[in-house]
């Protein structure tokens, strides 16, 4: 078999792996050696699905002894099988790297013979790359569950990042869909990698420190650091019935306890016919998108998982991003004054990101920020204006400063492109020529009035929003809104004719329309649109 044919088979088998990034470590170039790395990572190409290609993502082999229901490479599937020889793969990687096609190698594998044998093959490849070719680029290696700890340790000293696939968000699902894997043999390597990273960091820190006046006796040969770019994991979303609440709590605890760098989600794509798998055509790409947004809030915006999602509403709002959702549920802490607000609070304003908040903090030391200055700083002023005051003046005119009013301003379907499966979606709120539209203008409430209304507790439309959440920490302790946010807001969003008063009993609840739970209205296509129209008419 030609090497290009092998590459095609093994890249095809690896393409459903999502954890393909080249970030997390800065390594300078060295004379006489090939390559360097950049902490931010570099994407070298983008495939037709818009995902970045940064590493040569291939399997060592797609021969597999396991029979996981969701996987293309399971042993009961009849697909073309191939395996790279270690030096073939190493030569190919170097050839691509020198042409600046890739940032390094992403090496995963099906289980050939046994996990240990597979890992040994991977180790051989990485040794050729690192020692024969003097390769200093990025290498991401997958740890195969069930590998012995010594081999994982060896592999970790050759790779920059390692990952163990969680595969599914709960051990019951794992038992159902991947009977050969279990929670223990997935978590064991993750724990080992975490401990080894910590230990390696400590020893390196001590070795660097000059504690005595004596001449240092440093080892002649430098040892490679163990997994210097940290570890990540990935799980499939939508193949099993776990809720967003469950998934986000799981990833938050993974960040906390195993200090993962990143948890990847991959929307379930039906590739196999299996009785254990859900039968559905819709890929929950929008749900995946919202989960990633929530994940970013956890990692970069200092949110706690309880602020993003709670047990009563276990799915993220498909029409509103989680940050905006938090903001409209905590209107008491807004509007914030951009010229004085602390960095943490700026981060929580919808429309201001990490970079925006940093440049605001940097710019306001020198000048007072008003609207033109803010626009220049590159924040999404259109969204942010409802939640900020610039030097005392509030610019969010035209919208009611209330939960429903702001929701109508901020809610937006996810842009999924004009082609492909995400294109044929119903556009919520789109007006029809023959539809009766009530054009009574609601009274526009300003923040001042809202605060006054909030102070007198008899305001009917504010009764269900949590009060006096002055600081994020307090907000965490308070219970979330009692009414289902979907029950009040979705019908309103879909048909402007329906009155704005929340009617929790009459409106279609989550139970009445279970398809909505998946959070993928947009991906349901034409059938979904019919259903929504029908429910609004009823």
110 vs 156 by CB, closer to another protein: 110
Taking the C-alpha atoms of residue 390 and residue 413, their distance in angstroms, rounded to an integer, is 29
Q: Is 52 one of the binding residues for another protein (CB under 8 A)?
A: yes
Instruction: Kindly state the tokens that stand for 391.
Output: 């030097």
Cβ 3 to another protein, closest distance in Å? Answer: 7
- The rounded distance, in Å, linking the Cα atoms of 197 and 226 is 6
Asked if residue 48 lies in contact with residue 94, where contact means CB atoms within 8 angstroms, the answer is no
> Is position 110 an interface residue for another protein (rule: CB under 8 A)?
no
Q: Report the first-to-last Cα separation within the chain, whole angstroms.
A: 62
CA 62 – CA 112 distance, rounded (Å): 8
Single out the residue of 495, 536, 321 nearest to residue 412, CA to CA.
321
User: According to CB under 8 A, which one of 8, 116, 424, 449 is a site residue for another protein?
Assistant: 8
Give least dist CB 52 to another protein, A: 7
Nearest distance in Å: CB 413, another protein: 15
**Exposed, middle or buried, 137 (CB in 10 Å: 0-12/13-18/19+)?**
buried
Q: Is 427 in the site for another protein (CB under 8 A)?
A: no
- Quick one: which segment of 32-40, 398-406, 450-458, 479-487 binds another protein (CB under 8 A)? 32-40
Phi/psi at 120 (5° precision)? -60, -40
Distance in Å, CB of 161 to another protein, minimum: 19
Residue 104: CB minimum distance to another protein, A: 12
Q: Which of 36, 185, 243, 509 binds another protein (CB under 8 A)?
A: 36
Of all residues in the chain, what percent are helix, strand and coil, respectively (each to 5)?
A: 40, 10, 50
Q: Which of 422, 450, 516, 518 binds another protein (CB under 8 A)?
A: 422
Q: Which stretch binds another protein (CB under 8 A): 155-163, 370-378, 380-388, 431-439?
A: 370-378
Contact status: 92 vs another protein (CB under 8 A): yes
The answer to whether 112 and 83 are in contact (CB under 8 A) is yes
Place of tokens 């807004």: 334
Pairing relationship of beta strands 231-237 and 262-267 according to DSSP bridges? parallel
200/284 with CB nearer another protein: 284
| 421 lies in the site for another protein, by CB under 8 A | yes
- By CB under 8 A, residue 45 contacts another protein: yes
Q: For another protein, give the closer residue by CB, 272 or 359.
A: 359
Is there binding between residue 416 and another protein (CB under 8 A)? yes
Instruction: Decide if residue 273 touches another protein (CB under 8 A).
Output: no
Residue with smaller CB distance to another protein, 16 or 296: 16
Binding span for another protein by CB under 8 A among 30-38, 65-73, 240-248, 383-391: 30-38
In contact, 357 and 343? CB cutoff 8 Å = yes
Residues 215-249 as b or e (16 or more Cβ within 10 Å = b): eeeeeeeeeebbbbbbbbbbbbbbbbebbbbbbbb
In the list 362, 382, 476, 503, the residue contacting another protein (rule: CB under 8 A) is 362
Cβ–Cβ < 8 Å for 155, 162: yes
Q: Which is nearer to another protein, 49 or 273 (CB)?
A: 49
Number of continuous H segments (helices) and E segments (strands) in the chain: 19, 11
* Candidates 297-305, 419-427, 445-453, 475-483; binding stretch for another protein (CB under 8 A): 419-427
Q: Verify binding: residue 377, another protein, rule CB under 8 A.
A: yes
* Nearest-angstrom CA–CA distance, 239 and 283: 10
- Given 112, 152, 168, 285, the residue binding another protein (CB under 8 A): 285
Q: Tell me: does residue 365 bind another protein (CB under 8 A).
A: yes
Among 211, 212, 367, 457, binds another protein (CB under 8 A): 367
Q: What is the 3-state secondary structure (H, E, C) of 42-102?
A: CCCEECCCCCEECCEEEECECCCCCCCCCCCCCCCCCCCCCECCHHHHHHHHHHHHHCCCC
What residues does 142 pair with on adjacent strands? Answer: 163
What is the C-alpha to C-alpha distance for residues 482 and 456, in angstroms, rounded to an integer? 19
**How deeply is 185 buried, as exposed, middle or buried, from its count of CB atoms within 10 A (0-12, 13-18, 19+)?**
middle
Which CB atom, from 238 or from 472, has the smaller least distance to another protein? 238
Contact pattern for another protein over residues 121 through 160, marking x by CB under 8 A: -------------x--------------------------
Which of these segments, 142-150, 247-255, 360-368, 435-443, binds another protein (CB under 8 A)?
A: 360-368
Q: Is the dihedral of CA 281, 282, 285, 290 positive or negative?
A: negative
Please report the DSSP string for 233-264 in residue order: EEEEESSS---HHHHHHHHHHHHHHS--SEEE
**Nearest residue (CB) to another protein, 49 versus 78:** 49
Among 25, 53, 453, 454, binds another protein (CB under 8 A): 53
- Pick the binder of another protein from 26, 29, 150, 527 (CB under 8 A): 29
The residue within the footprint of another protein, chosen from 139, 227, 349, 369 (CB under 8 A), is 369
Query: Looking at 269, 445, 459, 467, which residue binds another protein (CB under 8 A)?
Result: 269
User: Is residue 376 within the footprint of another protein (CB under 8 A)?
Assistant: yes
Total residues at interface with another protein (CB under 8 A): 60
Question: What are 92's two structure tokens?
Answer: 């190919």
Rounded to whole angstroms, the maximal C-alpha distance in the chain is 89
Residue 47, interface with another protein (CB under 8 A)? yes
Q: Is 458 in the site for another protein (CB under 8 A)?
A: no
Contact set with another protein (CB under 8 A): 3-4, 7-8, 11-12, 14-16, 28-29, 31-36, 42-53, 56-57, 92, 95-96, 98-101, 134, 269, 283, 285, 359, 362-367, 369, 373, 376-377, 416-422
């Amino acid at each position: 078999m030609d090497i290009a044919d092998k590459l095609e088979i093994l890249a095809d088998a690896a393409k459903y792996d999502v954890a393909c990034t080249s970030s997390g470590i800065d390594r300078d170039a060295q004379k006489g050696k090939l390559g360097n790395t950049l902490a931010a990572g570099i994407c070298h190409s983008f495939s037709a699905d818009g995902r970045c290609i940064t590493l040569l993502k291939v399997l060592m082999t797609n021969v597999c002894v396991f029979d996981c229901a969701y996987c293309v490479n399971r042993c009961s599937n009849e697909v073309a099988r191939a395996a790279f020889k270690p030096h073939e793969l190493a030569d190919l990687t170097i050839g691509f790297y020198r042409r600046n096609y890739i940032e390094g190698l992403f090496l995963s594998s099906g289980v050939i013979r046994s996990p240990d044998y597979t890992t040994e093959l991977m180790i051989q490849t990485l040794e050729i790359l690192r020692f024969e070719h003097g390769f200093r680029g990025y290498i991401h290696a997958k740890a195969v569950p069930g590998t012995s700890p010594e081999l994982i340790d060896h592999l970790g000293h050759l790779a920059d990042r390692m990952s163990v696939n969680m595969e599914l968000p709960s051990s019951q699902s794992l038992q159902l869909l991947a009977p050969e894997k279990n929670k223990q043999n997935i978590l064991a390597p993750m724990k080992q990698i975490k401990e080894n990273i910590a230990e390696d960091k400590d020893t390196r820190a001590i070795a660097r420190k000059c504690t005595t006046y004596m001449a240092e006796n440093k080892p002649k040969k430098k040892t490679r650091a163990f997994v210097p770019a940290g570890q990540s994991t990935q799980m499939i979303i939508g193949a099993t019935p776990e809720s967003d609440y469950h998934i986000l709590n799981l990833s938050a605890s993974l960040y906390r306890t195993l200090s993962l760098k990143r948890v990847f989600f991959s929307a379930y794509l039906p590739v196999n016919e299996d009785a254990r798998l859900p039968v559905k055509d819709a890929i929950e790409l929008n749900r995946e998108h919202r989960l990633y947004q929530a994940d970013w809030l956890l990692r970069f915006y200092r949110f706690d998982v309880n602020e993003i999602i709670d047990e009563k509403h276990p799915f993220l709002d498909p029409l509103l991003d989680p940050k905006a959702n938090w903001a409209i549920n905590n209107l008491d802490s807004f509007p914030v004054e951009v010229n004085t607000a602390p960095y943490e609070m700026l981060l929580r304003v919808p429309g201001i990101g990490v970079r925006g908040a940093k440049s605001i903090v940097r710019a306001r030391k020198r000048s007072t920020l008003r609207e033109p200055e803010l626009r220049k700083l590159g924040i999404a002023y259109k969204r942010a204006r409802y939640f900020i005051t610039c030097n005392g003046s509030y610019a969010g005119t035209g919208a009611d400063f209330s939960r429903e009013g702001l929701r109508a301003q901020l809610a937006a379907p996810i842009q999924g492109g004009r082609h492909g499966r995400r294109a044929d979606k119903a556009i919520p709120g789109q007006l029809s020529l023959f539809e009766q539209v009530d054009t009574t203008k609601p009274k526009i409430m300003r923040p001042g009035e809202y605060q006054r209304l909030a102070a007198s507790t008899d305001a009917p439309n504010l009764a269900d929003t949590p009060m006096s959440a002055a600081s994020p920490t307090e907000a965490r302790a308070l219970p979330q809104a009692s009414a289902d946010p979907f029950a009040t807001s979705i019908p309103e969003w879909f048909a402007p004719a329906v009155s704005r008063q929340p009617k929790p009993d009459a409106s279609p609840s989550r139970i009445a329309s279970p398809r909505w739970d998946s959070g993928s209205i947009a991906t349901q296509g034409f059938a979904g649109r019919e259903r929504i129209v029908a429910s609004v008419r009823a």
